[in-house]
Amino acid sequence: MKVIGINGSARKNGNTSIIIKSIFMELEKKGIETELIQLADKTVKGCMGCFGCKGRKQCVIKDDFFNDCFDKMVNADGIILGSPVYSADITSKMKAFLERAGVVVATNPGMLKHKVGASVAAVRRGGGMTAVDILNHFLLNKEVFVVGSTYWNMVYGKDIGDVINDGEGMRNMKNLGENMAWLMEKLSRAHENK
């Protein structure tokens, strides 16, 4: 089994990366392979609304990082979406990625069906619920089983590394990783017994 984490932050190894990696630690303890995809230095254009993806299962825009990242998402068993909060929202790169992914899946239903997903946000002060909601709405609308934890999936910190000082938030990420591993194992066994 494999989980990819898509980090929508403009900081390649900032707080969002730290919290995704903390979830990865729990998944890896259970033998689940992980891969972090960082959008910081990648080009991701917005959706053109052309619906040329219908029947192709890929976007018709070929000169950016979208299709490479989307293929990894489709081939993974689990997906973690992570973003810092920018103006009470997710980052523009993450939004562009999700808009395009949403249209590809809407025109080719079932591409993400029954995968396990989680959304996380690195928050300086406010807007965390909005960011997590936006990420979760994408997953829920694409038939992904969304994993929760003991509290909202956000960790507080401004400067790189500050999230480590949010003990409650980091414990929540650990628990989220444990829950994700548990659900993935249950689904894998159910699939094997079919």
Domain that holds residue 61: 2-192
Amino acid at position 42, single letter:
K
Give helix then strand counts, H and E, for the chain: 5, 6
Q: pLDDT tier at 194 (50, 70, 90 boundaries)?
A: confident
**What is the rounded average pLDDT of the residues 29-42?**
97
What is the crossing angle of helices 15-29 and 167-192, to 10°? 40
Rg (CA), the chain: 16
Q: pLDDT tier at 193 (50, 70, 90 boundaries)?
A: confident
pLDDT of 47 over the 80 cut: yes
Nearest partner of 71 among 38, 47, 105, judged by Cα: 105
| Total structural domains within the chain | 1
pLDDT digits (tens, 9 = 90+) for 52-91: 999 999 999 999 999 999 999 999 999 999 999 999 999 9
> Measured in Å, how far apart are the chain's first and last C-alpha atoms?
17
What integer best gives the mean pLDDT of the chain? Answer: 96
pLDDT of 101 over the 80 cut: yes
pLDDT of 190 over the 90 cut: no
